[in-house]
Amino acid sequence: MVRILFTSAGRRVELTRCFRRAAEKLGLRAEVHACDLQPELSAACLEAEVAFAVPRCTAPDYVERLLEHCAREKIALLVPTIDTELDLLSRARERFAQVGTLVHVSAPEVIDVVRDKERTIAVLAEAGVPVPRTARIEDVRADPSGWAFPLFAKPVGGSASRGIGVLHAAADIREDYPEPMLVQELLRGPEYTINMYLDARGRMRSAIPHLRISTRAGEVEKGRTVREPRMIAIAADIAAALNARGLNARGLNARDPDAGDLAAPAPSGPGAEGVLCFQLIDDPDRGPRVFEINARFGGGYPLADQAGGRFAESLLARVSGLPECASEHWREGVTMVRYDSAVFRG
């Protein structure tokens, strides 16, 4: 038996099913626990063996509620599913480790970077990762002469495509944005997500690009895996940049990748670990440009799982004391087409 808790579970039914299948492959039985604001209205909670209500992640007792449940129910793995809880859980992961729960989250230094899109661009650019030209919107408003419109605007701390838009001319820049905003050169061309797995020491074990054929509410609706060497190389550069950021922030040096026990939980280990994903656009004139990183399971992860990524399986192996198993042996050309389904109770 391995117990897994999905927080802010919402609609992530297929993600929980990925973990159920992964457990079976390891000869384990997964018991899924899930929580949300209103578990009775969450499809993932309705499919879980155990579901319970929690306050918003901004509530002062949010972490305590989760810790109590993890200690009481002997949760082996906690999987966050939304960006807004990553910082809180990252800073509390040592406390969860003390009750035997591995939180699937990177170090606070990494979360600080990926949750701030301005810092994301700066850190990646410093590491030589190709990114779009980016500036604060007030700087562009003050001097738009050096920019070629149209431009793309988005919140510094946004997610799920909230607050994004195209600026066709300098006159489109508002004076009253409700939150800090960035402006980027407008990229054209096909959009890709790259799901990547970093082991307990921060080594990239796998990177699986997929073409985002169509999206809905910022999440891939139709996609197809592609073995694109340029994008896999970019994934390796991003992993190195994020791990350097995490280790340097704590005054640590990169560790020998062949030392120690691979399966041992490392809550204070490398900067980035586990599953991350990033988006890029392969612009016909500029080439691929990375514009966003999510330090969690993305909405399109089930496609990588179906292609043979074994990321969920690797995490379950880790908490079970087995070697992590994510690898580059995955299938190109696997297509995902999503549809709406329903869960009924009562």
> pLDDT tens, 16-68?
999 999 999 999 999 999 999 999 999 999 999 999 999 999 999 999 999 99
Contact present, 265 and 102 (Cβ < 8 Å): yes
The pLDDT of residue 162: 63
Q: Which residues fall within 8 angstroms of residue 72, CB to CB, at 6 or more apart? A: none
What is the average pLDDT across 253-271? 42
Amino acid at 90: S
Average pLDDT over the chain, rounded to whole? 91
What is the average pLDDT across 312-328? 97
pLDDT band at 253; cut points 50, 70, 90: very low
The pLDDT of residue 164: 82
- Rounded Cα distance between 98 and 67, Å, is 10
What is the average pLDDT across 132-153? 92
- For β-strands 134-136 and 50-53, DSSP reports them as unpaired
CA-closest candidate to residue 208, choices 298, 273, 304: 304
The pLDDT of residue 158: 63
Residue 317 has pLDDT above 60, yes or no: yes
Per-residue pLDDT of 158-206, as tens digits, reads 655 566 889 999 999 888 888 889 999 999 999 999 999 999 999 999 9
- Rounded Cα distance between 284 and 89, Å, is 39
Per-residue pLDDT of 212-221, as tens digits, reads 999 987 789 9
The pLDDT of residue 277: 97
How many Å from the N-terminal Cα to the C-terminal Cα in the chain? 28
Residue 265 has pLDDT above 50, yes or no: no
- For 251, other C-beta atoms within 10 Å of its C-beta total 6
Per-residue pLDDT of 93-138, as tens digits, reads 999 999 999 999 999 999 999 999 999 999 999 999 999 999 999 9
The pLDDT of residue 269: 52
The pLDDT of residue 254: 40
86 secondary structure, DSSP code: H
- For β-strands 181-185 and 134-136, DSSP reports them as antiparallel
Burial (0-12, 13-18, 19+ Cβ within 10 Å), 261: exposed
Amino acid at 34: A
- Rounded Cα distance between 35 and 42, Å, is 9
99 secondary structure, DSSP code: T
pTM for the whole thing?
Answer: 0.89
